């Protein structure tokens, strides 16, 4: 999943980036409100982590604009401010959660996972998928008790489609949210197609994958 970290304390921002990358998130950094606004206008994110005390403006003022350009993102406010008014203001503007500094990076990850479960209506770590089951926490996929080996990219692709089941995702959307932003529109779309082909080949050894649907000329979706 793709995350925008808006934080002017660079040491903290880099610590968050390093930690989340190890947890298989893709991260962009913005240390100012101006840079954050630019990122928000140009990219789509799954999570936006927003510090309120930015050097060139109040982070709260970014929320309405961010929600306009990234309506499906989840927002977590990160701030050293501890007063109730700031918390209420952020939640009233549409933030999903609030963490006061200093906070544990493990707690941040836990909050993000809880939001993702609510957002995608996933109530358990293990999600059924046809004749298979997918453990989103351990990143394993099983057929009955048999663990199936997928590469990191293959699992990222399959799990992202699973979280957005019944929704058609374009090749560009999949590329941006799983592999990062491409510099132009001339990327090789066969890159996504090749990974889908590999996933089907590995899983079809055990059971049919007719739930993984190609939408011609658009992209892919997992049908419920």
pLDDT tens per residue across span 68-105: 999 889 999 988 766 677 777 778 888 899 888 889 99
Q: Are residues 10 and 115 in the same domain?
A: yes
- pLDDT category of residue 189 using cuts at 50, 70 and 90: low
The pair of three-digit structure tokens given for residue 188, joined into one six-digit string: 């090789």
Query: What is the tens place of the pLDDT at every residue in 143-175?
Result: 998 999 999 889 999 999 998 889 999 988 888
Q: Are residues 94 and 160 in the same domain?
A: no
Q: Are residues 113 and 9 in the same domain?
A: yes
Q: What is the pLDDT of residue 185?
A: 46
Query: How does DSSP assign 130-142, residue by residue?
Result: TTEEEETTTTEEE
Q: Are residues 11 and 107 in the same domain?
A: yes
Total number of domains constituting the chain = 2
Q: Are residues 102 and 164 in the same domain?
A: no
Residues 6+ apart with CB under 8 A from 55: 8, 31, 32
Where would I find the beta strands (DSSP E) of 24-162? 26-30, 47-51, 53-54, 57-58, 74-79, 97-100, 126-129, 132-135, 140-143, 146-148
- pLDDT category of residue 222 using cuts at 50, 70 and 90: very high
Query: What is the tens place of the pLDDT at every residue in 175-188?
Result: 887 777 554 444 45
Grouping H, G, I as helix, E, B as strand and the rest as coil, residue 78 is strand
Q: What is the pLDDT of residue 83?
A: 66
- Structural domain span for residue 178: 126-222
Q: Are residues 106 and 138 in the same domain?
A: no
Q: Are residues 152 and 100 in the same domain?
A: no
Q: What is the pLDDT of residue 181?
A: 57
- pLDDT category of residue 213 using cuts at 50, 70 and 90: very high
User: Taking Cα atoms as reference points, which of 184, 200, 203 lies closest to residue 192?
Assistant: 200
| CATH at residue 196 | 1.10.10.10
| Tally of CB atoms within 10 A around 6 | 27
- Look at the chain and count its residues: 224
Full-model pTM:
0.78
Last residue of a domain, which of 88, 119, 150? Answer: 119
| CATH at residue 91 | 3.40.50.2300
């Amino acid at each position: 999943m793709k995350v925008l970290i808006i934080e002017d304390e660079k040491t903290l921002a880099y610590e968050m980036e390093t930690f989340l990358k190890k947890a298989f998130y893709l991260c962009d950094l913005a240390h100012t409100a101006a840079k954050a606004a630019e990122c928000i206008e140009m990219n789509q994110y799954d999570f936006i982590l927003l510090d309120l005390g930015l050097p060139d403006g109040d982070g709260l003022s970014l929320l309405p604009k961010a929600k306009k350009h990234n309506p499906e993102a989840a927002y977590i406010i990160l701030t050293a401010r501890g007063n109730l008014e700031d918390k209420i203001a952020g939640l009233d503007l549409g933030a999903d959660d609030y963490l006061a500094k200093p906070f544990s990076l493990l707690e941040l990850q836990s909050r993000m996972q809880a939001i993702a479960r609510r957002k995608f209506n996933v109530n358990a770590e293990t999600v059924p998928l046809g004749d298979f089951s997918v453990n989103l926490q351990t990143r394993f996929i099983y057929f009955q008790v048999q663990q199936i080996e997928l590469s990191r990219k293959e699992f990222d692709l399959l799990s992202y489609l699973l979280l957005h089941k019944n929704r058609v995702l374009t090749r560009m959307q999949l590329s941006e949210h799983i592999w990062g932003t491409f510099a132009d529109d001339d990327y090789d779309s066969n890159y996504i197609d090749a990974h889908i082909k590999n996933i089907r080949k590995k899983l079809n050894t055990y059971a049919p994958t007719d739930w993984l649907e190609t939408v011609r000329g658009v992209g892919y979706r997992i049908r419920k």
